[in-house]
Structure 1
């Protein structure tokens, strides 16, 4: 998800490309982020067979597009110097260091969401906790079902607490840059 977001966010950022390329990039991200994870997982399930890969690819594509869109929108607030570099140097040395706090905050937030969604993707037969919960319900093994649901809840609470701790430690908040990265206030 992080790698996809890093690759895809310049497609919509006004700091890269022209109007046509940004429109096409925006269209691609709209398709990827609005296509339900279930559909993407089912599509990859047909291509790759039953394993965890369809779920991984589906969640990575969907979430990568969401984070890329949000990061691209955040990059609109950046003001570059008149002598700012262009091309790959602009990406690597000017824009990426300035958007990385927000990118990381978005990724940590979406990590929590992905953890919850992996349980749901088990209904498609993808071997996640949701698959085992669904199987135990089908076998009327409600003791196992309760234990797996409890494990899912504890796992999600752990991920949420870890993510919150990391964000607090790094002073990250989605949608807010550090004071040096905020756009100047308009008069």
Structure 2
């Protein structure tokens, strides 16, 4: 249910509950992306080969599944981190004070120069975040272990 409900719907409901602040956007993105990462990790876990002598219970989780899933977890986390930045700008459509809100306000005020500047800042921020995530993946050895390129 967490991953199936769009972020904007969750944010809208939370906006009604908490009022206009950054909290609804943060919670909506955390709920949706937490469910998505959990789903992806569960699928990756089910595809792991199991042996009869594998440890069970908490020992299996801590010493078998977690080390095997760690590279995939980091890859999913870095990818969703980049997506969250882009999605947070869209939250401004609901009136939540994100970058998208200020871009929308600039268009309403017919301040196209300000809107263009904010869009450029958002693009540069996305490029910087993508570059940082790529470096972190390389540093952590995630690309080779998770089969990414």
| TM-score for the superposition, normalised by structure 2 | 0.90
Range that drifts further, 36-45 or 166-175 = 166-175
Pairwise CA distance, 1:80 = 3.9
Structure 1 position 146 matched with structure 2 position 116: yes
Pairwise CA distance, 1:164 = 1.1
Whole-angstrom distance in 2 between the partners of 1:128 and 1:93 = 41
Contact 2:7/2:29 (CA < 8 Å) preserved in 1? Answer: yes
Structure 1 position 163 matched with structure 2 position 127: no
User: CA 1:115 to 1:94, structure 2 compared with 1: closer, same or farther past 3 Å?
Assistant: same
Equivalence for 2:47 = 77
Q: Deviations over 1:143-184 (max 9, x none)?
A: 21111111100000111111111112222239936xxxxxxx
Contact 1:74/1:175 (CA < 8 Å) preserved in 2? Answer: no
Question: Which SS does the other structure have where 2:3 is aligned?
Answer: helix
Unpaired segments ≥5 residues, structure 2: none
Unpaired segments ≥5 residues, structure 1: 1-30, 178-187
Instruction: Choose which of 55, 63, 68 in structure 2 pairs with 1:93.
Output: 63
User: CA 1:63 to 1:174, structure 2 compared with 1: closer, same or farther past 3 Å?
Assistant: farther
Show the 5 A alignment for 1:1-187: 31-173=1-143, 176=146
Question: Which SS does the other structure have where 2:142 is aligned?
Answer: coil
Pairwise CA distance, 1:71 = 0.8
